[in-house]
Amino acid sequence: MNTAVSKPATHPAKVTIEVVAKRAGVSKGLVSFALNNRPGVAPETRVRILQVAKELGWKPSLRARSLSTQRSYALGLVIARNPDVLASDPFFPSFIAGVESILAPEGRALVLSVVPDAETELKTYRSLVADGRVDGVFLSDLRHGDPRIPLLAELGLPAVTLGRPDGASPFPAVTVDDTPGVIASVAHLATLGHRRIAHVAGSSTLLHGSRRRAAFAAAVREAGLPEGQTIETDFSVAAGSDATRRLLTQETPPTAIVYANDPMAIAGLGMAHELGVRVPDELSITGYDDIDICRYVYPPLTTVSAAPMVWGRAAASTLLALMENGSADDVDLPAARLVIRGSTAPPRG
Protein backbone atom coordinates (compact mmCIF):
# COMPACT_ATOMS: atom_id res chain seq x y z
CA MET A 1 0.00 0.00 0.00
CA ASN A 2 1.11 3.45 -0.75
CA THR A 3 0.80 5.64 2.30
CA ALA A 4 -0.22 9.08 1.30
CA VAL A 5 0.29 11.01 4.44
CA SER A 6 -1.56 14.28 4.39
CA LYS A 7 0.39 17.10 5.94
CA PRO A 8 -1.45 19.12 8.53
CA ALA A 9 -2.51 21.79 6.08
CA THR A 10 -1.93 24.58 8.56
CA HIS A 11 1.79 25.16 8.13
CA PRO A 12 3.07 25.93 4.64
CA ALA A 13 6.17 23.69 4.79
CA LYS A 14 9.12 25.53 6.19
CA VAL A 15 11.26 27.34 3.68
CA THR A 16 14.90 26.45 4.12
CA ILE A 17 17.95 27.23 2.09
CA GLU A 18 17.55 23.79 0.52
CA VAL A 19 14.16 24.69 -0.88
CA VAL A 20 15.42 27.95 -2.29
CA ALA A 21 18.40 26.21 -3.85
CA LYS A 22 16.27 23.56 -5.51
CA ARG A 23 13.82 26.08 -6.82
CA ALA A 24 16.58 28.27 -8.20
CA GLY A 25 18.32 25.26 -9.65
CA VAL A 26 21.56 25.76 -7.75
CA SER A 27 23.32 24.32 -4.73
CA LYS A 28 22.82 25.32 -1.09
CA GLY A 29 26.28 26.79 -1.00
CA LEU A 30 25.63 29.14 -3.84
CA VAL A 31 22.48 30.44 -2.21
CA SER A 32 24.50 31.13 0.89
CA PHE A 33 27.09 32.99 -1.16
CA ALA A 34 24.47 35.03 -2.94
CA LEU A 35 22.79 35.94 0.29
CA ASN A 36 25.98 37.08 1.94
CA ASN A 37 27.24 39.09 -0.99
CA ARG A 38 30.23 36.91 -1.46
CA PRO A 39 32.20 37.05 -4.70
CA GLY A 40 32.15 34.10 -7.05
CA VAL A 41 28.49 34.23 -8.02
CA ALA A 42 27.57 35.28 -11.54
CA PRO A 43 25.58 38.51 -11.39
CA GLU A 44 22.45 37.19 -13.09
CA THR A 45 22.55 34.02 -10.98
CA ARG A 46 22.72 36.13 -7.85
CA VAL A 47 19.73 38.12 -8.96
CA ARG A 48 17.77 35.00 -9.73
CA ILE A 49 18.57 33.45 -6.37
CA LEU A 50 17.59 36.53 -4.46
CA GLN A 51 14.44 36.76 -6.53
CA VAL A 52 13.47 33.19 -5.69
CA ALA A 53 14.31 33.73 -2.03
CA LYS A 54 12.05 36.75 -1.99
CA GLU A 55 9.22 34.89 -3.71
CA LEU A 56 9.39 32.08 -1.21
CA GLY A 57 9.77 34.50 1.65
CA TRP A 58 12.89 32.82 2.84
CA LYS A 59 14.69 34.14 5.88
CA PRO A 60 17.82 32.28 6.87
CA SER A 61 17.49 30.56 10.23
CA LEU A 62 19.26 32.52 12.90
CA ARG A 63 19.77 29.35 14.86
CA ALA A 64 21.47 27.46 12.07
CA ARG A 65 23.55 30.43 11.22
CA SER A 66 24.51 30.84 14.83
CA LEU A 67 25.72 27.29 15.01
CA SER A 68 27.96 27.51 12.00
CA THR A 69 29.25 31.03 12.47
CA GLN A 70 29.63 30.74 16.22
CA ARG A 71 27.95 34.05 16.72
CA SER A 72 24.66 34.95 18.29
CA TYR A 73 23.84 38.30 16.71
CA ALA A 74 22.92 39.67 20.09
CA LEU A 75 24.55 42.05 22.54
CA GLY A 76 24.41 41.94 26.29
CA LEU A 77 23.90 44.36 29.10
CA VAL A 78 24.37 43.26 32.69
CA ILE A 79 23.17 45.59 35.39
CA ALA A 80 24.30 44.98 38.94
CA ARG A 81 22.16 47.10 41.16
CA ASN A 82 19.94 46.96 44.11
CA PRO A 83 16.45 46.86 42.55
CA ASP A 84 15.34 49.88 44.53
CA VAL A 85 18.17 52.03 43.33
CA LEU A 86 17.67 50.75 39.84
CA ALA A 87 14.00 51.55 39.89
CA SER A 88 14.49 55.18 40.77
CA ASP A 89 17.33 55.62 38.32
CA PRO A 90 16.12 56.73 34.94
CA PHE A 91 19.45 56.18 33.25
CA PHE A 92 19.02 52.64 32.04
CA PRO A 93 15.60 52.83 30.42
CA SER A 94 16.75 55.76 28.34
CA PHE A 95 20.12 54.24 27.62
CA ILE A 96 18.47 51.02 26.50
CA ALA A 97 16.05 52.89 24.28
CA GLY A 98 19.08 54.44 22.59
CA VAL A 99 20.81 51.11 22.22
CA GLU A 100 17.71 49.54 20.72
CA SER A 101 17.35 52.27 18.15
CA ILE A 102 20.65 51.11 16.71
CA LEU A 103 20.33 47.37 17.20
CA ALA A 104 16.82 46.82 15.90
CA PRO A 105 17.52 47.93 12.31
CA GLU A 106 20.60 45.69 12.32
CA GLY A 107 18.56 42.68 13.32
CA ARG A 108 20.43 42.31 16.56
CA ALA A 109 18.81 41.71 19.89
CA LEU A 110 19.65 42.91 23.36
CA VAL A 111 19.99 40.40 26.15
CA LEU A 112 19.46 42.02 29.50
CA SER A 113 20.47 40.74 32.88
CA VAL A 114 19.68 42.40 36.17
CA VAL A 115 21.65 40.91 39.03
CA PRO A 116 21.77 41.73 42.70
CA ASP A 117 25.52 42.00 43.27
CA ALA A 118 28.96 42.21 41.71
CA GLU A 119 29.78 38.58 42.30
CA THR A 120 26.72 37.37 40.45
CA GLU A 121 27.55 39.87 37.80
CA LEU A 122 30.86 38.20 36.99
CA LYS A 123 29.18 34.82 36.92
CA THR A 124 26.61 36.20 34.55
CA TYR A 125 29.25 37.41 32.12
CA ARG A 126 30.87 34.00 32.29
CA SER A 127 27.69 32.21 31.46
CA LEU A 128 26.70 34.64 28.74
CA VAL A 129 29.99 33.76 27.09
CA ALA A 130 29.84 30.06 27.86
CA ASP A 131 26.38 29.85 26.36
CA GLY A 132 27.37 32.06 23.47
CA ARG A 133 24.36 34.22 24.15
CA VAL A 134 25.99 37.44 23.08
CA ASP A 135 28.72 38.65 20.77
CA GLY A 136 29.60 41.68 22.83
CA VAL A 137 28.61 43.58 25.94
CA PHE A 138 28.19 47.03 27.38
CA LEU A 139 30.07 47.79 30.56
CA SER A 140 28.28 50.33 32.69
CA ASP A 141 28.82 51.56 36.22
CA LEU A 142 32.58 51.19 36.02
CA ARG A 143 34.32 50.60 39.29
CA HIS A 144 37.85 51.17 40.47
CA GLY A 145 40.12 48.45 39.14
CA ASP A 146 37.06 46.95 37.58
CA PRO A 147 37.38 43.15 37.56
CA ARG A 148 35.10 42.87 34.59
CA ILE A 149 37.68 44.31 32.24
CA PRO A 150 40.33 41.62 32.69
CA LEU A 151 37.60 39.01 32.81
CA LEU A 152 36.14 40.01 29.48
CA ALA A 153 39.57 40.40 27.96
CA GLU A 154 40.38 36.89 29.08
CA LEU A 155 37.11 35.56 27.74
CA GLY A 156 37.75 37.31 24.45
CA LEU A 157 34.38 39.01 24.46
CA PRO A 158 34.24 42.40 22.74
CA ALA A 159 33.03 45.16 25.00
CA VAL A 160 32.51 48.88 25.19
CA THR A 161 32.95 50.78 28.42
CA LEU A 162 30.62 53.58 29.37
CA GLY A 163 33.21 56.08 30.37
CA ARG A 164 36.95 55.64 30.63
CA PRO A 165 38.11 53.03 33.13
CA ASP A 166 40.86 53.91 35.57
CA GLY A 167 43.19 51.12 34.59
CA ALA A 168 44.38 49.69 31.31
CA SER A 169 41.59 48.53 29.08
CA PRO A 170 41.63 46.85 25.70
CA PHE A 171 38.15 48.13 24.99
CA PRO A 172 36.95 51.32 23.38
CA ALA A 173 35.38 53.82 25.76
CA VAL A 174 32.28 55.85 24.99
CA THR A 175 32.33 58.75 27.34
CA VAL A 176 30.16 61.58 28.52
CA ASP A 177 32.43 63.61 30.71
CA ASP A 178 30.53 64.42 33.86
CA THR A 179 33.23 66.57 35.41
CA PRO A 180 32.36 69.84 33.64
CA GLY A 181 28.75 69.56 34.76
CA VAL A 182 29.70 69.19 38.41
CA ILE A 183 32.25 71.98 38.14
CA ALA A 184 29.66 74.19 36.50
CA SER A 185 27.23 73.44 39.32
CA VAL A 186 29.72 74.53 41.94
CA ALA A 187 30.80 77.56 39.91
CA HIS A 188 27.19 78.55 39.50
CA LEU A 189 26.60 78.32 43.22
CA ALA A 190 29.82 80.18 44.03
CA THR A 191 28.85 82.94 41.63
CA LEU A 192 25.54 83.23 43.40
CA GLY A 193 27.52 83.88 46.55
CA HIS A 194 27.44 80.54 48.32
CA ARG A 195 30.44 79.72 50.47
CA ARG A 196 29.34 76.61 52.33
CA ILE A 197 28.57 74.09 49.64
CA ALA A 198 28.14 70.42 50.49
CA HIS A 199 28.11 67.35 48.30
CA VAL A 200 25.93 64.30 48.62
CA ALA A 201 28.03 61.89 46.66
CA GLY A 202 27.30 58.52 45.15
CA SER A 203 29.17 55.37 45.96
CA SER A 204 32.91 55.92 45.71
CA THR A 205 33.42 52.38 44.53
CA LEU A 206 31.81 53.52 41.32
CA LEU A 207 34.08 55.47 39.07
CA HIS A 208 31.54 58.14 38.23
CA GLY A 209 30.67 58.45 41.89
CA SER A 210 34.22 59.26 42.89
CA ARG A 211 34.90 61.29 39.77
CA ARG A 212 32.00 63.60 40.50
CA ARG A 213 33.20 63.81 44.04
CA ALA A 214 36.71 64.75 42.95
CA ALA A 215 35.33 67.28 40.50
CA PHE A 216 33.31 68.78 43.31
CA ALA A 217 36.34 69.12 45.57
CA ALA A 218 38.43 70.62 42.81
CA ALA A 219 35.76 73.12 41.87
CA VAL A 220 35.34 74.24 45.48
CA ARG A 221 39.09 74.80 45.76
CA GLU A 222 39.10 76.57 42.44
CA ALA A 223 36.42 78.93 43.68
CA GLY A 224 38.56 79.71 46.70
CA LEU A 225 36.00 78.34 49.11
CA PRO A 226 36.60 76.32 52.25
CA GLU A 227 36.60 72.60 51.67
CA GLY A 228 33.09 71.35 51.07
CA GLN A 229 31.50 68.77 53.28
CA THR A 230 30.90 65.50 51.47
CA ILE A 231 28.69 62.60 52.45
CA GLU A 232 28.93 59.37 50.58
CA THR A 233 25.79 57.40 49.75
CA ASP A 234 24.75 54.40 47.69
CA PHE A 235 22.80 56.61 45.27
CA SER A 236 19.51 55.60 46.85
CA VAL A 237 16.84 58.15 47.67
CA ALA A 238 16.76 56.94 51.26
CA ALA A 239 20.46 57.69 51.62
CA GLY A 240 20.05 61.04 49.90
CA SER A 241 17.32 61.96 52.32
CA ASP A 242 19.36 60.92 55.36
CA ALA A 243 22.43 62.75 54.19
CA THR A 244 20.39 65.90 53.76
CA ARG A 245 19.04 65.67 57.27
CA ARG A 246 22.54 65.28 58.64
CA LEU A 247 23.77 68.25 56.69
CA LEU A 248 20.91 70.55 57.57
CA THR A 249 20.70 69.78 61.26
CA GLN A 250 24.29 70.82 61.92
CA GLU A 251 25.14 73.96 63.75
CA THR A 252 26.22 75.77 60.62
CA PRO A 253 24.54 73.98 57.77
CA PRO A 254 25.60 74.47 54.17
CA THR A 255 23.70 76.98 52.09
CA ALA A 256 23.89 74.80 49.03
CA ILE A 257 24.01 71.08 48.31
CA VAL A 258 25.24 69.42 45.15
CA TYR A 259 23.71 65.98 44.71
CA ALA A 260 25.23 63.21 42.64
CA ASN A 261 21.91 62.32 41.06
CA ASP A 262 18.41 63.69 40.68
CA PRO A 263 16.43 61.24 42.79
CA MET A 264 18.62 62.08 45.79
CA ALA A 265 18.22 65.77 45.06
CA ILE A 266 14.47 65.40 45.00
CA ALA A 267 14.58 63.50 48.26
CA GLY A 268 16.79 66.29 49.60
CA LEU A 269 14.20 68.80 48.53
CA GLY A 270 11.61 66.85 50.47
CA MET A 271 13.80 66.72 53.55
CA ALA A 272 14.44 70.46 53.37
CA HIS A 273 10.70 71.05 53.24
CA GLU A 274 10.21 68.78 56.18
CA LEU A 275 12.81 70.62 58.20
CA GLY A 276 11.28 73.93 57.29
CA VAL A 277 14.27 74.99 55.24
CA ARG A 278 13.06 76.93 52.24
CA VAL A 279 14.47 76.17 48.79
CA PRO A 280 16.00 78.17 47.21
CA ASP A 281 15.81 81.01 49.76
CA GLU A 282 17.65 79.21 52.52
CA LEU A 283 19.12 76.34 50.62
CA SER A 284 20.14 75.89 47.02
CA ILE A 285 20.06 72.44 45.49
CA THR A 286 21.47 70.90 42.32
CA GLY A 287 21.02 67.44 40.91
CA TYR A 288 22.54 65.34 38.19
CA ASP A 289 20.92 63.64 35.17
CA ASP A 290 18.09 66.00 34.31
CA ILE A 291 15.41 63.38 34.58
CA ASP A 292 12.04 64.36 33.29
CA ILE A 293 10.54 65.05 36.66
CA CYS A 294 13.14 67.69 37.61
CA ARG A 295 11.24 70.27 35.65
CA TYR A 296 8.07 69.61 37.57
CA VAL A 297 9.02 69.50 41.20
CA TYR A 298 8.87 72.73 43.13
CA PRO A 299 11.06 74.58 42.80
CA PRO A 300 12.20 73.04 39.52
CA LEU A 301 15.58 71.48 39.91
CA THR A 302 18.82 72.96 38.67
CA THR A 303 20.65 69.94 37.37
CA VAL A 304 23.15 68.60 34.91
CA SER A 305 21.79 67.21 31.72
CA ALA A 306 23.42 64.07 30.40
CA ALA A 307 21.85 62.49 27.34
CA PRO A 308 21.48 58.79 28.04
CA MET A 309 19.71 57.99 24.80
CA VAL A 310 22.47 59.52 22.74
CA TRP A 311 24.93 57.68 24.89
CA GLY A 312 23.13 54.43 24.21
CA ARG A 313 23.20 55.02 20.48
CA ALA A 314 26.89 55.85 20.49
CA ALA A 315 27.76 52.87 22.62
CA ALA A 316 25.80 50.51 20.39
CA SER A 317 27.36 51.89 17.22
CA THR A 318 30.82 51.63 18.70
CA LEU A 319 30.29 48.07 19.83
CA LEU A 320 29.00 47.04 16.42
CA ALA A 321 31.97 48.71 14.78
CA LEU A 322 34.34 46.94 17.13
CA MET A 323 32.83 43.59 16.28
CA GLU A 324 32.80 44.35 12.58
CA ASN A 325 36.33 45.68 12.24
CA GLY A 326 38.10 44.23 15.21
CA SER A 327 38.79 47.70 16.48
CA ALA A 328 36.99 50.94 17.20
CA ASP A 329 37.90 54.42 18.29
CA ASP A 330 36.98 55.94 21.60
CA VAL A 331 34.05 58.30 21.41
CA ASP A 332 33.74 61.45 23.46
CA LEU A 333 30.24 62.77 23.52
CA PRO A 334 29.44 66.37 24.38
CA ALA A 335 29.94 66.87 28.09
CA ALA A 336 26.89 67.02 30.27
CA ARG A 337 25.86 70.63 30.80
CA LEU A 338 24.27 72.56 33.61
CA VAL A 339 20.59 73.42 33.34
CA ILE A 340 19.69 76.26 35.66
CA ARG A 341 16.21 76.22 37.12
CA GLY A 342 14.54 77.45 40.25
CA SER A 343 16.24 75.42 42.97
CA THR A 344 19.30 77.67 43.07
CA ALA A 345 19.43 81.29 44.20
CA PRO A 346 21.75 83.57 46.13
CA PRO A 347 22.05 82.60 49.79
CA ARG A 348 19.90 84.60 52.14
CA GLY A 349 21.77 87.70 53.30
Partner DNA sequence: TAGCCTGTCTAAACCGGTTCAGTGTGGACC
Partner DNA sequence: GGTCCACACTGAACCGGTTTAGACAGGCTA
Helix (H) or strand (E) run with residue 257 in it: strand 256-259
CB of residue 310 to DNA, shortest distance in Å: 33
260 binds its own copies (CB under 8 A): no
* Nearest residue (CB) to DNA, 36 versus 249: 36
* Nearest residue (CB) to its own copies, 3 versus 252: 3
Helix (H) or strand (E) run with residue 174 in it: strand 173-176
Sign of the alpha-carbon dihedral angle for 93, 98, 103, 105: positive
Q: How far is Cα 77 from Cα 272, in angstroms, rounded to an integer? A: 37
Site size toward DNA (CB under 7 A) is 34
83 binds its own copies (CB under 8 A): yes
CB of residue 284 to its own copies, shortest distance in Å: 17
> What are the residues whose beta carbons fall under 8 Å from the beta carbon of 269, sequence distance 6 or more?
279, 285, 297, 301, 343
5 binds its own copies (CB under 8 A): yes
333 binds its own copies (CB under 8 A): no
Select from 28-36, 92-100, 148-156, 340-348 the region that touches DNA (CB under 7 A).
Answer: 28-36
* Nearest residue (CB) to its own copies, 183 versus 258: 258
Query: Are 196 and 252 spatial neighbours (Cβ–Cβ below 8 Å)?
Result: yes
Q: How far is Cα 224 from Cα 47, in angstroms, rounded to an integer? A: 72
Q: Give the Cβ contact number of residue 115 at 10 Å.
A: 16
* Nearest residue (CB) to DNA, 7 versus 63: 63
Site for its own copies in 34-63 (CB under 8 A): 59, 61-63
27 binds DNA (CB under 7 A): yes
Q: How far is Cα 245 from Cα 253, in angstroms, rounded to an integer? A: 10
300 binds its own copies (CB under 8 A): yes
Q: Identify the residue among 53, 102, 201, 328 touching its own copies (CB under 8 A).
A: 328
> How many residues does the structure list for the chain?
349
* Nearest residue (CB) to its own copies, 53 versus 291: 291
Q: How far is Cα 91 from Cα 56, in angstroms, rounded to an integer? A: 43
Strand segments, DSSP code E, in 17-150 are 74-80, 109-115, 136-139
263 closest CA partner among 232, 309, 297? 297
Q: How far is Cα 304 from Cα 208, in angstroms, rounded to an integer? A: 14
Contact partner, 167, from DNA, its own copies, none, Cβ < 5-8 Å per class: none
343 binds its own copies (CB under 8 A): no
Single-letter amino acid, residue 184: A
13 binds its own copies (CB under 8 A): no
Q: How far is Cα 255 from Cα 166, in angstroms, rounded to an integer? A: 33
Binding mask 210-249 for its own copies (x = CB under 8 A): --------------------------xxx-xx--------
CB of residue 159 to DNA, shortest distance in Å: 23
133 binds DNA (CB under 7 A): no
Contact partner, 254, from DNA, its own copies, none, Cβ < 5-8 Å per class: none
Q: How far is Cα 280 from Cα 40, in angstroms, rounded to an integer? A: 72
345 closest CA partner among 279, 300, 254? 279
User: DSSP character for 223?
Assistant: T
CB of residue 52 to DNA, shortest distance in Å: 13
Site for DNA in 46-105 (CB under 7 A): 46, 58-61, 63-65, 67-70
Select from 113-121, 205-213, 217-225, 250-258 the region that touches its own copies (CB under 8 A).
Answer: 113-121
Query: For binding to DNA (CB under 7 A), which residues are involved?
Result: 14-18, 25-33, 35-36, 39-43, 45-46, 58-61, 63-65, 67-70
